[in-house]
Amino acid sequence: MTSVSDTALSYLPEPRGDLSAAVVEILRRSPDDTAALPSGANADPFGEDLQLALHTCYELHYRGFEGVDPGWEWNPDLLRLRATLEKPFRAALHAEVAGGADIDAELDALLVEPVEPTGLSQFLLDEGEWWQVREYFAHRSIYHHKEADPQAWVIPRLRGQAKASVVAVEFDEFGGGRGERVHARLFAELLTGAGLESGYLRYLDVVPAPMLIEVNMMSLFGLHRELRGALIGQFAEVEITSPTGSRRMVGALERLGADPACLRFYQEHVEADAVHEQVLRRDVIGTLLNEEPELTESVVFGIQATNWIADRFADHVLEQNWRKGRTSLRRELPAA
């Protein structure tokens, strides 16, 4: 079994098209290099190439890449390219959701449990096999290696009770002051328990665009002050729906006899996120929209976009691949 590793990504990702190839190639050079970069204006906003290029640009604001000059983070030419990638991505997300300003209806809908639950966690609970659980972990590693990081960017953009309450939730996400309890660390231990490699973004090259879209959306919302409402909506959607999904995952892992480290991660989310749900709804969203009602549509957009991306990811994994007996990753994982 592999040991738990929390190191930075040791290599740039494998390109998935001309756009991501150009970004990867330029990052091997000095930030003083003035070589022209492609615009990316005509790329598929949800496609592998644009999403990987955007993820690579965003990673410079997180841990970066070994061998890549940190000066690239604020290189104006690369930032201009990132902006040309973000524009169609934002437009495409808006085109996929209904929008509106009925925040109560959106939040209430998140609490409604279907009579016959569907989705990935229900499938894994009812009939999932161990190879599918491991694939799910590989997908989710792209998200959980950054768990709560994009949301931290919103803290200086809030004030009063909304700020204090976001900090309280983030404090829990980051282990309550204990490094060994940081949720990203618990997920690394989960990967080890599942016989997978736990290194930071180790599975980036095998995870397809549907999961990159979710992580890129959080980075997009977090890096733009004008999208702070959307980030709060995203945060609320995840925290409100997490306890139910995590409870199903605990059941699935118990059924399959998973390592205790796998159970520990989801057990933590059943307990913590049930509290976060109330804090985010009342103290964060309630306070924020009372003080800045003009952000209502942005919060609604964040909730709706997060739901749409989750449904798209589930459709890719379950309907397009698992139900057809094939891997949902770009390449099959090595056997445990």
DSSP secondary structure string for all residues of 36-82: -----TTS-TTSHHHHHHHHHHHHTTTT-BTTS-GGGGG-HHHHHHH
Are both 199 and 295 inside the same structural domain?
yes
Q: Which of 48, 68, 95 is the last residue of a domain?
A: 95
Are both 22 and 159 inside the same structural domain?
no
Q: What pLDDT, on the 0 to 100 scale, is given for residue 273?
A: 62
Please check whether residue 149 lies inside any domain of the structure.
yes
Q: What pLDDT, on the 0 to 100 scale, is given for residue 219?
A: 98
Q: Kindly provide the b/e burial profile for residues 231-264, where b requires at least 16 CB atoms within 10 angstroms of the residue's own CB.
A: bbbbbbbbbbbbbbbbbbbbbbbeeeebeebbbe
Please check whether residue 32 lies inside any domain of the structure.
yes
Could you tell me what percent of the chain has a pLDDT over 90? Answer: 84
3-state secondary structure (DSSP) of residue 9: strand
Residues 145/198, Cβ–Cβ less than 8 Å: no
Are both 77 and 185 inside the same structural domain?
no
Q: Which of 95, 127, 144 is the last residue of a domain?
A: 95
Please check whether residue 270 lies inside any domain of the structure.
yes
Are both 135 and 231 inside the same structural domain?
yes
Are both 63 and 144 inside the same structural domain?
no
Are both 76 and 40 inside the same structural domain?
yes
Task: Name the residue type at position 91.
Answer: A
Q: What is the CATH number of the domain that holds 271?
A: 1.20.910.10
Q: Which of 49, 68, 95 is the last residue of a domain?
A: 95
Q: What is the pLDDT of residues 57-67, one digit of tens each?
A: 999 999 999 99
* Whole-number Å distance between alpha carbons of 123 and 190: 20
Q: Categorize the per-residue pLDDT at 9 as very low, low, confident or very high, splitting at 50, 70 and 90.
A: low
Q: What pLDDT, on the 0 to 100 scale, is given for residue 1?
A: 42
Residues 200/5, Cβ–Cβ less than 8 Å: yes
Measured in degrees and rounded to the nearest 5, phi and psi for residue 292 equal -130, 70
Task: Name the residue type at position 196.
Answer: L
Over residues 200-227, mean pLDDT:
98
Are both 179 and 136 inside the same structural domain?
yes
* Whole-number Å distance between alpha carbons of 220 and 128: 33
Are both 40 and 185 inside the same structural domain?
no
Q: What is the pLDDT of residues 245-265, one digit of tens each?
A: 999 999 999 999 999 999 999
Domain that residue 66 falls in: 18-95
Residues 299/230, Cβ–Cβ less than 8 Å: yes
* Whole-number Å distance between alpha carbons of 229 and 232: 5
Are both 282 and 151 inside the same structural domain?
yes
Its sign, for the CA torsion 149, 209, 126, 137, is: negative
Residues 153/260, Cβ–Cβ less than 8 Å: no
pTM value is 0.94
Are both 110 and 78 inside the same structural domain?
no
**pLDDT above 70 (res 306):** yes
Ranges of H-type helices in 119-182: 120-126, 130-144, 149-152, 160-173
Over residues 177-200, mean pLDDT:
96
Its sign, for the CA torsion 166, 172, 176, 178, is: negative
Please check whether residue 7 lies inside any domain of the structure.
no
Are both 29 and 149 inside the same structural domain?
no
3-state secondary structure (DSSP) of residue 105: helix
H or E element, residue 250: helix 228-255
Q: Categorize the per-residue pLDDT at 10 as very low, low, confident or very high, splitting at 50, 70 and 90.
A: low
Tokens matching residue 328:
């949902």
Q: What pLDDT, on the 0 to 100 scale, is given for residue 2?
A: 44
Please check whether residue 335 lies inside any domain of the structure.
no
Please check whether residue 1 lies inside any domain of the structure.
no
Are both 83 and 107 inside the same structural domain?
no
Please state the domain count of the chain. 2
Task: Name the residue type at position 146.
Answer: K
Please check whether residue 166 lies inside any domain of the structure.
yes
DSSP symbol at 97: S
Q: What is the pLDDT of residues 99-130, one digit of tens each?
A: 999 999 999 998 877 646 678 999 999 999 99
Please check whether residue 6 lies inside any domain of the structure.
no
Q: Categorize the per-residue pLDDT at 40 as very low, low, confident or very high, splitting at 50, 70 and 90.
A: confident
Report which of residues 158 and 8 the model is more confident about. 158
